[in-house]
Amino acid sequence: MVLHDAETARGLDHAPDGILRHLSTGEYTFETGGYLPDVVLGFETWGTLNADASNAVYVAHALTGDSHVARGASTEPGWWDGFVGPGRTIDTNRFFVVSANMIGGCSGTTGPASLDPNGVPWGSRFPFTTIKDSVRLEARLADALGIKVWHTVLGGSMGGARALEWAVEFPERVKNCVVVASTAQSSAEQIAFAQAQSSAIRLDPDYSGGDYYSNELIPSAGLGIARRIAHITYRTETELEVRFGRSAQGTETPVGSASLERGRYQVESYLDHQANKLISRFDANSYLILTEALMSHDVGRGYGSVENALARLAPVNFFVSAVDTDRLYWPEQSERLAQGLPKPVAVRYITSPIGHDGFLTDIEQLGEALSEEIFS
C-alpha cells in the first residue's frame, strides 16, 4: 500500500486535521467478482493516534456524503461539525478520527469517473460494489494507519450500514459500534425507492450507458430527479406542509396560468434547489454505484442469514439509534436490529420533525448518552 502524500503510515497521526489525502491499496477483487488493478482511498483524519493505537474512531459517511466530517486545517464546514472536534462528543483532543470516501464515489476514492491504466474513465465498466467491499478496503486503510482495533466505528444511514458491516466482517477489530438510522439489510420499500432513483438516471438520454465523460452533456436531469425522489424520503410530510404548504414560489402562478409553462409551488422550488445542489458536486455514475450498493446491503450475505451474522457480534459493544419520524429507515427496523444482537440494547431516539435527515441535523441529541456509554 502506498501513501500518495509521501508520508509514513504512522506519521499520519501528525498530519493536518481535515485535509484530504490518498492511499493506494493495490489490486482488489470485488465481492461479486469484479476487479480493479488498483484502488485509491481518499481519507481524512483529525487528532493524534496514541502510542498503542487504542483511540482510533472510524466515521462512515452516508450516500452523498464524503470524508469531510468536520473542520480542521480547512475552514470548509464538515457534515458533523457539531459532533466531531475539540471538546465535542467525539473529542479530537482525545480521539484519532478517520473517515474515508467510499469505493465507487467521486470525492477522492476510485470511482467510475477515475481513469483506467489507459487513461480512460471506467464508466460503465466499473464493478458492482457492495457495502462489504467498502469495509474490506477500509480495513486496508486501518492496516496502513497501524490501527488493529477501532475504539468505535459509527455512522448514520448508509454510514450506519457500513459501521454495522465493519462489526460483522471484523468483530475482533471493533470495540464499539454505533448504528444510527440504519438496518441490517435493505427492505423492499427501501429498494423500491432506490430503484426509481436509479431508473431516472439510466433513462436520461445523456446517460449514454454510463460512458458520458467525453460528451458535452451529462445526465444532470436524471440525477436531479433521483435527488428529488430521495429528498422526499429524507423528510416528513409534516415538515413539508409546515414549511411550504400549497404556497406559490414568489410571484409565480402554479394554478390558472395562461401560459403552457405554469409556475411552481414553493415545495417544487425547494426540490429543484436540492437537485441543483447535488448536480453541481456529484457524479451520476457514483450515485448509481452507491445507491445499488445500499440496495444490496445485507449483513447476512455470506453467513447464511442475518441472525447468523449478528451472532458474530458478541465481542462488540453496541449503541443503536433511530430518528422518531424517519419514514425511510423506520424506527421499527432499528428496534429489530437492537433486539437481534447477542446482547440486546435499547434504541436511543433522536426527536426531530424532519425525518431521516435528523441523523445529520440533530445528532447532538445523542451526545450525553454516547459520552457516558461509548466515549467516557
297 is catalytic: no
pLDDT range class, residue 260, cuts 50, 70, 90? low
Q: Are 154 and 59 in contact (CB under 8 A)?
A: yes
Which residues span the domain enclosing 334? 2-185+299-373
Whether residues 7 and 125 fall in one domain: yes
Q: How far apart are CA 320 and CA 336, in angstroms?
A: 10
The CATH number that applies at residue 223 is 1.10.1740.110
10 pLDDT more than 60: no
Whether residues 140 and 122 fall in one domain: yes
219, three cell numbers: 445526465
116 is catalytic: no
pLDDT digits 0-9 by tens, 88-134: 999 999 999 999 999 999 999 999 999 999 999 999 999 999 999 99
Q: How far apart are CA 116 and CA 107, in angstroms?
A: 17
Whether residues 116 and 219 fall in one domain: no
Q: How far apart are CA 11 and CA 87, in angstroms?
A: 24
Catalytic residue among 286, 296, 356, 357: 356
Q: How far apart are CA 142 and CA 37, in angstroms?
A: 20
The CATH number that applies at residue 67 is 3.40.50.1820
Whether residues 111 and 22 fall in one domain: yes
Whether residues 320 and 268 fall in one domain: no
Whether residues 275 and 346 fall in one domain: no
Q: How are beta strands 317-323 and 174-180 bridged, if at all?
A: parallel
Whether residues 285 and 336 fall in one domain: no
Domains: count for the chain: 2
pTM of the model: 0.94
Percent of the chain with pLDDT over 70: 95
Catalytic residue among 326, 334, 352, 357: 326
Whether residues 88 and 116 fall in one domain: yes
pLDDT, averaged across the chain: 95
Mean of pLDDT values over 240-269: 89
Percent of the chain with pLDDT over 90: 91
20, three cell numbers: 484530504
Whether residues 179 and 214 fall in one domain: no
Q: Are 352 and 361 in contact (CB under 8 A)?
A: yes
Catalytic residue among 99, 157, 186, 352: 157
Domain boundary among 275, 292, 309: 292
157 is catalytic: yes
Domain boundary among 249, 271, 292: 292
Domain boundary among 241, 259, 292: 292
Whether residues 267 and 157 fall in one domain: no
Q: How far apart are CA 54 and CA 66, in angstroms?
A: 24
Whether residues 102 and 240 fall in one domain: no
Whether residues 12 and 135 fall in one domain: yes
